[in-house]
Structure formats: C-alpha cells, structure tokens
Amino acid sequence: MRTTNWAKALLLTLLMPLAAHADEGMWLPLFVKRLNQADMQKKGLKLTAEEIYDVNNASLKDAVVQLGGFCTGEFVSSQGLMLTNHHCGYDALQTHSTPQNNILQNGFFATTRAEEKTNPGLFVDLLVRMEDVTGKVLEGITPTTPEAERMAMVQKRQKEMADAAKENGQYVAYVRDMFGGNEFYLFVYQRFGDVRLVGAPPEAVGKFGGDTDNWMWPRHTGDFSMFRVYADKNNKPTAGPQADNVPYVPKKHLPVSLQGVSEGDFAMVFGFPGRTQRFLPAAGLQLTLDQSNPARIKLRDTRLKLWKEDMDQDPALRLKYASKYANIANYWKYFIGQNEGMKRLKTVDAKKAEEASLDQWIRADQARVQKYGEALPIINQAYAGMREYNLSSQYVNEGAFGTEIVTLASRMMPLYATLKATPTDKAAIQKAVEGLKEPVAEYFKDYSAPTDKKVFTALMTLYGKDVPAAQLPDVFQTVQKQYGNSWAKYADYVFANSFLTSEAKVNAFLANPTLAKLEADPGFKTFNSVYTNYVQTILPKMQGLQAGLIRANRLYVAALREKNTQKVYSPDANSTIRLSYGTVRPYKGRDAVRYDYKTSAQGILEKEDPTNDEFVVPKKELELLKMKDYGRFADKDGNLPVAFITDNDITGGNSGSPVINGRGELIGIAFDGNWEAMTGDLAYDPELKRCINVDIRYVLWCIEKLGGARSIVDEMTIVNNGPNPGVGPAATASATELGDVEKMKVKTDDGQKTKIKKKKGKDSVSAGM
Ligand code: ARG
C-alpha cells in the first residue's frame, strides 16, 4: 500500500467495525443507515436508508408483511394485492379445493372481488415500528445478578413493554431477544385478519419439480400465489373476514420492473426469516448431526412413504394429505441436505477451531476469564448431558406426535384439565368444548383413520426400538405385556375403540364430555402416557441442562463479538423483519460444476415428463411455450425467464419475500435455497449460499398469458417495460429512468395520498468507503 494512502487506510480500518461488508447477514432495518447503507450503495442501491425504513414516511417496510406467522408477502397494488409463494398459499388452495373443483390442481385467478376466497384464521402482520429496548430491559442487571433473578426481571419487562405497546389491543407487539439474550428489540405490528385468496397457477407450475427439485438449483418453478388484504372502511385491520371490508390501501406498494436481471446486479430481500443458529456451538452441531437429524429423517421417511402409498391409491385422499405431505417432505429433505452438507463442509470442525481460538483469547486475559471463562465448559457439559435424553425428545416430537391421533388427543388437554379441576363448572367446560369445535372440524376435513393407523403402528414401533428402554412411557409396557409387543395389534385395539378416529364420535363426546370417558379412551390414554413420561422424566432433565445453557450461550456470543470487533454480526433469524442484500451471482457447485444464474422456459421443456407427476407441464403451458408466446415478458435474448439466483442471506420464513432491485422495484420472489448450502442456517458460506427466486416476468406471464387474468397484472404498477414493450395499457406506462427515485416514488405512491419528499443527491456514494 502506498504511503500517501496511509492515513486513508488507517481511517478505513478504524471505520471498519461500523459497516458490514460481506453478504452474510439478515439485518435489522432499524440499523440500515448505520451498518449497511454505504455498502449497499456501493453494490448498486440507489435508495436512501430512509426509503427503506422510516417510521414516519412511507418506506419499503410498509410494502412487506409477515403472512400467517410463517411466510412473507409484499403489496403490489394500491388495493392491497399481495404476492407470496405458491407453497405459502398451498394450504389455502387445498382448503378451497374439492375433487370436483380442484383449484389446487387447475390453478385459479379471481378477476372480480366477489370471486376472492376468504381464509378465516389467516392473517398478515405489518410492521408499524421497532425499537432497541436493550437498555430498558437490562436496567440494573449486572454480571453478578443471579440467573433466575435476571430471567424473571427480563421476562417481566419484556411483557410490560409489549403490553404497553399494544395500546389496548390495537397492535400486536412483542419483545424479542437477539444475540443469545444480549440485546432486546420491541416490534409493533398491525394484524390484518381478512386475507383473501386471489389466485395461483396450477400446482404443476407452482410446485413444478416437486420434492425432486426442492432445495435445488437450477429451478423452473412458478412458486407464487396471490392474496388481497382487506380492512375496514377506515383502512384499519379487522380480526377476521368481514363482509363489508374493503381492500386495504397500503402506504406503499412495490412497483414491478420488467427489465430483468444481469450478473452482478444489486438485489435486496425484505422479509421474515424464521430461524438460524449461526451461534450454535460445536457440541450442538455435533448433536444435530449425529442424533437429531438422523432421527427426524428416519421418522419422516417412514411417515411419508406410508402417506404416499395411500395417496397414490385414492385421489380424494391425495388432496386431503397434499399440504401435510408437502410440509413434512420439505424439512425431511432439508435435514438430509443439512447433514450431508455438514459432513462435506466439515462444519463441526470449523466451529471447533473457532471455539479453540476463542478459548485462547479468553485465557489470555484474567478479566476475560472472569467474564467469560465459564461459558465453553458449561456448554460442553450441557450438550454431553443432552445427548442422553435428546433422542427421547425427538421420538416424542416426530414419532408419537407424527401420528395424527396423538396430536388430536393432545388438543383435548385444556378440556381434560378443566374436567379434572372443575368437573361441575358447566360454563368452563363449555368454553373448553367451544375452543375445540373449529380445530376438530378442520382436523377431520383432512383425515384418514386407516392411513393414520399405519403411521401410528410404524412410528411407535420405531420409538420402542430406538429409544433407551428406561426412558419409554408406560404404554410400551402395556403393549409388551398385553399385545405381545405388537404395535400392530395394539393399533387394532386403539383404532377400533377410540372416539378420536371419527368426527361424529368426537362430536358426540363433546356434546356430553366427562373425565371418565376421556381417561378411558385408548387414543387419549396413549397420548397421556407419552406426555406424562415426557413432562415428568425427559423434560426436567433437558430443561435443567438448557437452563445452564442460556447463561453460557449469552456469554459465548458476547465473547465472540468482543473478540472479533472487526466483524459486524447480524443477529440470528427469529421471525422478525430483516433485510438482506447482495448481488445476482452464479456459483461453483462442486469440482468442475458451474451454475448459471438464471433459468428460462427452455428448461421447463427439457424437464417435462408426462409420466412423472412432479414434472408434468399443463397442456396450455406446453402449447404456449412451444409457440414461444412470451409476449412482453421475454428477455433481451427472446427467452422467457423463469428463475434466478442471488447471494442474499435468507432462510425459511423468507418464503414469498420480495427481491428488489437498486431502484426499489420488484424483480422476483424468493422461494428456496440451494442444495450445496443446506448448512446455511448453521454457518454461512458466501461461495456456495444462494437464494432462489422466481423471476417476476414469469409470474406475470403465468397470470396474464397462462391464466388469462390481464386485469390483475394491470392493477400493478409496471415501471419498466424491459426489452420487449409489446402493446396494451400496462405497456404504455412510461419507464423509470435509472436512479430516478423521484419519479419512482411518484408512480408508486400515485393515489395513495403519500407526500412526496424531495431528496437531494443521495444516490451517489463517496468513493473509497
Ligand atoms: N424449500 C422451500 C422452502 O422451504 C419450500 C418448497 C416447497 N416445495 C416442495 N416441493 N415441498 O421455502
């Protein structure tokens, strides 16, 4: 480095800790200005931090919602129209499908408001504001505050702050801890309970490639569905669907760009990533690798095979189990990929090395030993202890609770508790019964007792074989003594005699519930045996070990951050709103294998296989693709783009997240991760980790050309017509010039009564930073 640059270099080094530089990171929008803005602008962002997150003025955050607590959605019109993934709308699509009118299979687009379908229970949360409340939560707490006292104080303050922020039920609010309990943030949301299904392509498009292609690149899936958020006449949320509700008018909706992506383009993803465990210590990784994941894989494998056998026999059953199957299969494959990746990438070894160096750093200084010395020993001890009981936990969760009858029995718990505690209190009992009516109806809508019986037999048999005998619940003794240790024979008895196998019988019980009847039911008895054993013997052991871990983890994370001051850490995902940014980028999958960054309709035709239900292409799509009828959605080479990848850091929960270009325009919808980086939730690898997105032009093509629903596309704000303008009203909107934030805002907020503020010269970044 030349001496003249010495001062600049020093300055840069000093400033380093203040800004993030890698593509790792699911950032809290609150800190975008301080931590990320400079880096983002260098990568191609033309917006200011305020245009991304601002509490007082419309910003990007006002266009992004959490859907149902498990996915992300984005507003694309001033009338509450929202895009998300097909797999996020899957359950709603299945619920509205019958073998006679199978909208899941055939696809559907509502072109009038009357055709939109309500979904009681489904909601979206829209962020109002967030706040760093670390200081308030930890006030007066010192390193010597006893752990139990600390926990009680923290929990109390978290609750008080959240309760105050709810403003008498007007908002949903909670305080979440970050960095292992070292920091705390308050999130305040509006919750909209009227979210109506607007449309989706046929399943063969929305889930094209099925479980074979799931978690993999290259991808040719039209993984999108559409909903509309409704509000009352004053644009305020309602708890559930209401006949006189009207489309919600968002403060901000995303303009849609037809310009497409090129390698190196800036991309950001806004959404609600569910959970990462990047601070999981080596011992925790090892436990996942050799105990938790193999158990989950084995039990899910068994369940899925049995479900599939019956689904293949009967179309009605196939529809009933479609959503459950997709859900279980999704993470079944995830666990397989995660374990494969951990072995290939030697994730545990890398973590061990990091811990060894942390240990050295701690030992080098007496004050550090004082502060952090206990962390690693406690962690290692706790995981060693957990090893003994962890399998039991897994077999309760994925084994016993992998059967539906046990799950339904568990839902009877509030009623059971009431019958036990206050057997003569009719009102209390009735209340518990009322609480069961909807879940019971919902449950039986998608239930097959003969299928469940097979699963019950198989999973409980595995439970008995794989879990240490001393940890098994009583029911295993009953089966051994009275049924010749045959779960098949015991299942015959349970399924012939339990009222939990039919809706009519459950309702008959609910009409006149007694403690004696419930306690005598063999389905409930089985559950109760598993549950009691778990709560009385397994859980206390696990919780005892975990209690020590809470403190140790907090110290471990604090030590790591103190040691690596040059690295800006982002907190692990925890279902709170985050922003990640990166670029459109190909990757090298393995030796001699390079992946392009985009796919096209050509690949759909290459994968097409009418004999394999995962790769069937609907007749109409086949015809349109063969004619190359791409309309204005073709790219500059005349291909129809389908999907592309970026190196954005995402995880489950980000499903449906908008992929936004440097000008704040929607270019795609994130829907998956890639096989080579299945360890991404545990460790981030910038060379391998990619975010898989459906290209917004394919989405629009599916709506307009395949679905014939041009009016839906016309409702959106198309701000850039791309290389193939074509004709028609949507195509005549004038294009936004590169970097012209003013124009974009005018167009986006058109008719939304949002004031347009003049921003001066914010789109250039000073060089050298
Ligand atoms: N892997 C995707 C995710 O977790 C879900 C894909 C759903 N598709 C499927 N074939 N199960 O976001």
How far does residue 646's CA lie from ligand 1's centre (Å)? 18
- Angstrom distance (rounded) from CA 350 to CA 338: 15
Q: Among 672, 690, 692, say which to mutate for ligand 1: greatest number of ligand atoms within 8 Å of CB.
A: 672
Report pTM.
Answer: 0.90
Per-position DSSP letters for 32-93, written without gaps between them: IIIIIHHHHHHHT--S-HHHHS-SSS--GGGGEEEETTTEEEEE-STT-EEEE-HHHHHHHH
Ligand 1 atom with the shortest distance to the CA of 209: 10
The single residue listed with the structure tokens 């210590």 is 281
How far does residue 215's CA lie from ligand 1's centre (Å)? 7
Considering the chain, what percentage of its residues have pLDDT values greater than 90?
88
- Angstrom distance (rounded) from CA 251 to CA 129: 14
Cα 537 to chain centroid distance, Å, stands at 32
Q: Among 70, 72, 85, 87, say which to mutate for ligand 1: greatest number of ligand atoms within 8 Å of CB.
A: 87
3-state secondary structure of 497: helix
Which of 448, 529, 655, 657 is catalytic? The answer is 655
3-state secondary structure of 314: coil
Asked if residue 638 lies in contact with residue 723, where contact means CB atoms within 8 angstroms, the answer is no
> 404-411 and 522-533 helices cross at what angle (nearest 10)?
80
Residue 561, both tokens: 């951050």
Asked if residue 174 lies in contact with residue 159, where contact means CB atoms within 8 angstroms, the answer is no
Q: Among 220, 330, 657, 669, say which to mutate for ligand 1: greatest number of ligand atoms within 8 Å of CB.
A: 330
3-state secondary structure of 669: strand
Question: What residues have CB less than 8 Å from 340, skipping those under 6 apart?
Answer: 678
Asked if residue 84 lies in contact with residue 122, where contact means CB atoms within 8 angstroms, the answer is no
Q: Among 70, 72, 85, 214, say which to mutate for ligand 1: greatest number of ligand atoms within 8 Å of CB.
A: 214
Ligand 1 atom with the shortest distance to the CA of 85: 12
Q: Which amino acid is at 506?
A: V
pLDDT value for 761: 30
∠ Cα 116 223 660 (to 5°): 95
Ligand 1 atom with the shortest distance to the CA of 671: 12
Pairing of strands 578-583, 266-271: antiparallel
pLDDT at 337 over 90: yes
Q: What is the mean pLDDT of residues 591-601?
A: 98
How far does residue 457's CA lie from ligand 1's centre (Å)? 28
- Angstrom distance (rounded) from CA 603 to CA 615: 11
Annotation marks residue 655 as catalytic = yes
The single residue listed with the structure tokens 């890698």 is 22
3-state secondary structure of 115: helix
- Angstrom distance (rounded) from CA 86 to CA 93: 9
Which of 39, 78, 86, 87 is catalytic? The answer is 87
- pLDDT tens, position by position, 279-305: 999 999 999 999 999 999 999 999 999
> Of all protein residues, whose CA lies closest to atom 6 belonging to ligand 1?
214
Residue 666, both tokens: 């929607």
Q: What is the mean pLDDT of residues 512-534?
A: 97
List beta partners, residue 134: none
Asked if residue 295 lies in contact with residue 398, where contact means CB atoms within 8 angstroms, the answer is yes
Name the phi and psi angles at 691, rounded to 5: -110, 125
Ligand 1 atom with the shortest distance to the CA of 655: 12
Residue 484, both tokens: 């010749």
How far does residue 508's CA lie from ligand 1's centre (Å)? 38
CA distances in angstroms from 432 to 406, 411, 413, 418, 525, listed in the order given? 19, 10, 9, 7, 19
User: pLDDT band at 367, cuts 50/70/90?
Assistant: very high
Residues with CB under 6 A from ligand 1: 87, 207, 210-211, 214-215, 326, 329-330, 652, 655, 671-672
Which of 223, 635, 649, 672 is catalytic? The answer is 223
Closest CA relative to residue 629, chosen from 735, 731, 726, 694: 726
Ligand 1 atom with the shortest distance to the CA of 327: 11
Residue 12, both tokens: 């840069």
How far does residue 655's CA lie from ligand 1's centre (Å)? 9
pLDDT value for 623: 98
pLDDT at 725 over 50: no
- pLDDT tens, position by position, 445-493: 999 999 999 999 999 999 999 999 999 999 999 999 999 999 999 999 9
90: left (phi over 0), alpha (psi -120 to 50) or beta: alpha
How far does residue 206's CA lie from ligand 1's centre (Å)? 10
How far does residue 577's CA lie from ligand 1's centre (Å)? 21
Pairing of strands 266-271, 658-660: antiparallel
pLDDT value for 762: 30
Asked if residue 556 lies in contact with residue 354, where contact means CB atoms within 8 angstroms, the answer is no
Asked if residue 520 lies in contact with residue 514, where contact means CB atoms within 8 angstroms, the answer is no
652 CB neighbour count, 10 Å cutoff: 20
pLDDT at 629 over 60: yes
- Angstrom distance (rounded) from CA 700 to CA 716: 10
> Of all protein residues, whose CA lies closest to atom 3 belonging to ligand 1?
672
pLDDT value for 96: 97
Ligand 1 atom with the shortest distance to the CA of 654: 12
Averaged pLDDT of the chain: 91
Name the phi and psi angles at 668, rounded to 5: -175, 180
How far does residue 199's CA lie from ligand 1's centre (Å)? 19
Q: Among 648, 671, 674, say which to mutate for ligand 1: greatest number of ligand atoms within 8 Å of CB.
A: 671
- Angstrom distance (rounded) from CA 711 to CA 81: 12
Helix (H) or strand (E) holding 481: helix 475-482
- Angstrom distance (rounded) from CA 387 to CA 365: 32
- pLDDT tens, position by position, 5-28: 444 444 444 444 445 545 789 999
Annotation marks residue 223 as catalytic = yes
3-state secondary structure of 439: helix
pLDDT value for 22: 54
pLDDT value for 323: 93
CA distances in angstroms from 324 to 298, 311, 503, 561, listed in the order given? 17, 12, 19, 40
Higher-scoring residue by pLDDT: 9, 346 = 346
Per-position DSSP letters for 166-199, written without gaps between them: TTTTTSEEEEEEEGGGTEEEEEEEEEE--EEEEE
Q: Is 414 exposed, middle or buried, given 0-12, 13-18 or 19+ CB atoms closer than 10 A? A: middle
- Angstrom distance (rounded) from CA 244 to CA 428: 33
pLDDT at 415 over 80: yes
How far does residue 626's CA lie from ligand 1's centre (Å)? 28
Which residue stretches of 277-314 are H helix?
A: 282-287, 293-313
pLDDT value for 23: 72
Closest CA relative to residue 84, chosen from 92, 75, 94: 75
Helix (H) or strand (E) holding 691: strand 691-695
Q: What is the dihedral of CA 667, 672, 677, 678, to 10 degrees?
A: 160
Q: Which amino acid is at 674?
A: N
How far does residue 500's CA lie from ligand 1's centre (Å)? 31
Q: What is the mean pLDDT of residues 622-641?
A: 96
pLDDT value for 722: 61
Residue 755, both tokens: 């004031």
Annotation marks residue 77 as catalytic = no
- Angstrom distance (rounded) from CA 250 to CA 323: 30
Closest CA relative to residue 123, chosen from 159, 201, 198, 71: 71
How far does residue 522's CA lie from ligand 1's centre (Å)? 36
Ligand 1 atom with the shortest distance to the CA of 673: 1
> Of all protein residues, whose CA lies closest to atom 4 belonging to ligand 1?
652
User: pLDDT band at 547, cuts 50/70/90?
Assistant: confident
Considering the chain, what percentage of its residues have pLDDT values greater than 70?
91
Residue 135, both tokens: 């200081």
